[in-house]
Structure 1
């Protein structure tokens, strides 16, 4: 499967130590990967909410003589036409949002061509008993869905979907009972509390595995293993099909690393049948 423009941009940024402002530019470029090769430095600066000189310094940090050289490079590796002009006239705004999510899923599929990060995450999550699963605000549904299914194969899953003063207490309790890893779902807009919680969790000794919308999200520097899955931005509220699917992929990898996962599933099915839990 060929890489999409966002995946190629991610590779361009790998191995570079970027400042917070430069990570913001990189994040913006990944989210608008199809259009970026056609933007001026001023337009990119406005889109990212930074100054035009910051865009120039960003290009130099990547090894280019300046932004024009970076843009020429992007045009060489990008599709010949902008995503919007290729099909914008063919679809209404709702269809465009769906097509955007299809593109996000294609990008995720391309990233999963290397299964090693997901397999490593699965091993880390399987080995942590208990396993805290964090997701606040927009990411709470992703965390809740993962925790619901994970509880069928993992012996002790602890959902952390509410912030406040109790959050730190619950993480401390998980540590006292033997937790070694924490799974975090982090989606925009990123709550400050999530960033602070991950920072404290790592200091306390937890290995942080994160599903985020970008490798340049604010949680990146507080994660030991971050696996990105883009969100859709075509509607008034972001859509998160790719992060949800990535959560299920991580669930599969975790189950593969749990020796008794199948036995637990069969036991649940037997008990559910005895209780008449589901309508067939």
Structure 2
């Protein structure tokens, strides 16, 4: 989560300091979208938060009163009264600062800054390119190449599959769950697949865990891009590449996993001898068809 707007004057007031304390509390836990909505409400009303009842918080956030109680429990408290006592008794730290010593800005700016930090961590991890290079080789050799991503991870899987299909001869996107998912994995194995690429982001669907267990049981090597090395899919992955997601807004942001997926594409292209020829052929056809507006 991130603090509300109001830090433009160049100095943090009491409300900003209170917001900073709430941010530290909330960022230590993974919250559901409903819980993040409550957290956003409390950050915006940071100065009043220690004095609001659970009913008042529910009304302000547009959620039910039991949701506020579950929110407090998710933070490790016995209930909302315990959370309110905590907010009254614990002094709030100063609001986070942006580079240059200025306050961290509004919640949107802080969400961007958090993603920048995630990308810095990813850049540091990629100082050792070995895991990505190995993953690229595994994906390049698999014919066909199934690419799995459900729910929140569906966009990442579709983006990877769209570009991969320009250089890989047989990419099969698996972005829909249900009873057909296992059938499509089995069909890929029968067609000769040797590896499966999975994008797994929170909240992690049970179907993805089950699908990876089936894929490994069928002999596929599973390469997974996930938000953490401790994600539920880790136990069913042969090679897991972590890239943190941003949690500062009501819904996660996934710049890190997207960029890591593009790095995997690059590594896969390096292993496909005809990748450049395929790209040039596509460009020629696209020009002939007037496919793009330049």
- Calculate the TM-score normalised by the size of structure 2: 0.68
Alpha-carbon distance in 2 for matches of 1:143, 1:102: 22
For structure 1, which runs of at least 5 residues remain unmatched after alignment?
A: 1-27, 32-45, 52-81
Distance in 2, matches of 1:134 and 1:83, equals: 43
Q: Give the TM-score of the pair, scaled to structure 1.
A: 0.71
2: CA distance between counterparts of 1:131 and 1:161?
14
1:85 aligns with 2:96: yes
> SS of the counterpart of 1:230?
coil
Tell me, what secondary structure is at the counterpart of 1:185? strand
- 8 Å CA contact 2:167–2:275 kept in 1: the answer is yes
The match for 1:220 among 219, 234, 238 is 234
Q: Alpha carbons of 1:211 and 1:49: their partners in 2 closer, same or farther (altered >3 Å)? A: farther
Give, in angstroms, the shift of residue 50 of structure 1.
11
Distance in 2 of aligned mates of 1:49 and 1:175? 45
Q: 2:177, 2:171 → 1: CA distance?
A: 17
Contact 2:29 2:75 in 1 (8 A): no
How many residue pairs match? The answer is 209
Task: Say which one has the larger Rg.
Answer: 2
Change (3 A) 1:49 1:141: farther
| Partner residue in 2 for 1:177 | 191
Match of 1:133 in 2: 147
- Deviation digits for residues 121-161 of structure 1, max 9, x if unmatched? 00000000000000000000000000000000000000000
- Superposition RMSD on alpha carbons, in Å? 2.2
| CA distance in structure 2 between the aligned counterparts of 1:200 and 1:223, rounded to whole angstroms | 11
What are the superposed Cα offsets for residues 90-120 of structure 1, whole Å, 9 maximum, x if unpaired? 3110100000110110010000000000000
Indicate how the Cα distance of structure 1 residues 83 and 107 shifts in structure 2: closer, same or farther if over 3 A, else same. farther
Give unmatched runs, 5+ long, in structure 2: 1-26, 31-72, 79-92
The residue that corresponds to 1:274 in the other structure is: 288
Matched, 1:194 2:208: yes
Counterpart of 1:109 in structure 2 is 123
8 A Cα contact 2:95 2:104, kept in partner: no
Mapping of residues 1-280 of structure 1, within 5 Å: 85-87=96-98, 89-280=103-294
Question: In 2, distance between residues paired with 1:143 and 1:202?
Answer: 19
Q: Is contact 2:153-2:199 (8 Å) kept?
A: yes
How many angstroms does 1:29 deviate by? 6.7
